[in-house]
């Protein structure tokens, strides 16, 4: 009960409506995260109250700032499925793709999708650099997002190649986002993007402000990007 109560409270404070089905599905998902976390490393956050805010609210809040209805969304480096799966639970019309380099995490995500009866969800095991060069994924998505722990210039090289012209890359960031934005100006331009806006929201239990950086895809990404595996991290575009 504490989990659902805290998630509902957090969502209501930013005027996001929820219902029993969404809250129940989030709770089932949360329980699966905790169960599988004993076998594979999914998260260091295991307290129900913290999970409600730091994983589920922190994912669903994106829907306050961008309309995802009937959109194709790819979550790059999704890990335990955040933010992609909570966004899908909140809006079942989303056509979701979850991409991760660790097969055990993909198996976990498939289990969640099966348990919740989710449709229009694809699970990809592999590197972001590799799938971005494939014709059926390159510049095919309305929205790419990532909560991966990487600098914005690196994330942009991983994610912008997936976004169709006119679409959006949304990066979830912490308090250092301004410095990351400054260091990413050249990379974003090279990759065909333009910073559209930055939105903020407050995590009460964490006493911190988080940020969503919205990057519009205004032109095609040169085909040489992303560079081969490891290059974006070792030699970021600056």
Indicate the number of domains in the chain.
Answer: 1
The confidence score (pLDDT) of residue 45 equals: 94
Grade residue 233 by pLDDT with cuts at 50, 70 and 90: confident
Q: Domain limits at 148?
A: 2-234
- Alpha helices (runs of H) in the chain, residue ranges in sequence order: 2-13, 20-36, 48-51, 58-60, 84-90, 103-116, 128-131, 152-159, 177-190, 231-234
Grade residue 236 by pLDDT with cuts at 50, 70 and 90: confident
Confidence (pTM)? 0.96
Q: What is the CATH number of the domain that holds 95?
A: 3.40.50.150
- Taking only the tens place, the pLDDT of each residue in 179-200 is 999 999 999 999 999 999 999 9
Query: Could you give the 3-state DSSP secondary structure of residue 95?
Result: strand
- Taking only the tens place, the pLDDT of each residue in 64-111 is 999 999 999 999 999 999 999 999 999 999 999 999 999 999 999 999
């Amino acid at each position: 009960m504490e989990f659902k109560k805290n998630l509902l409270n957090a969502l209501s404070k930013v005027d996001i409506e929820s219902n029993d089905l969404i809250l129940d599905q989030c709770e089932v998902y949360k329980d699966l995260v905790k169960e599988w976390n004993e076998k594979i490393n999914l998260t260091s956050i295991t307290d129900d109250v913290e999970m409600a805010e730091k994983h589920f609210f922190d994912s669903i809040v994106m829907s306050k700032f961008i309309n995802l209805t009937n959109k194709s969304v790819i979550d790059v480096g999704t890990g335990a499925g955040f933010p992609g799966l909570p966004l899908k639970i909140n809006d079942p019309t989303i056509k979701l793709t979850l991409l991760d380099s660790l097969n055990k995490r993909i198996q976990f995500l498939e289990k969640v999708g099966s348990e919740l009866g989710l449709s229009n969800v694809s699970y990809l095991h592999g590197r972001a650099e590799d799938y971005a060069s494939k014709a059926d994924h390159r510049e095919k998505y309305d929205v790419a997002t990532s909560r991966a722990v990487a600098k914005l210039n690196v994330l942009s090289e991983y994610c912008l190649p997936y976004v169709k012209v006119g679409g959006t890359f949304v990066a979830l960031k912490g308090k250092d986002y301004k410095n990351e934005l400054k260091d990413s100006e050249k990379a974003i331009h090279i990759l065909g993007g333009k910073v559209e806006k930055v939105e903020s929201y407050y995590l009460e239990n964490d006493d911190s402000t988080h940020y969503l950086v919205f990057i519009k895809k205004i032109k095609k990404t040169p085909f040489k990007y992303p560079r081969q595996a490891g290059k974006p991290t070792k030699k970021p575009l600056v």
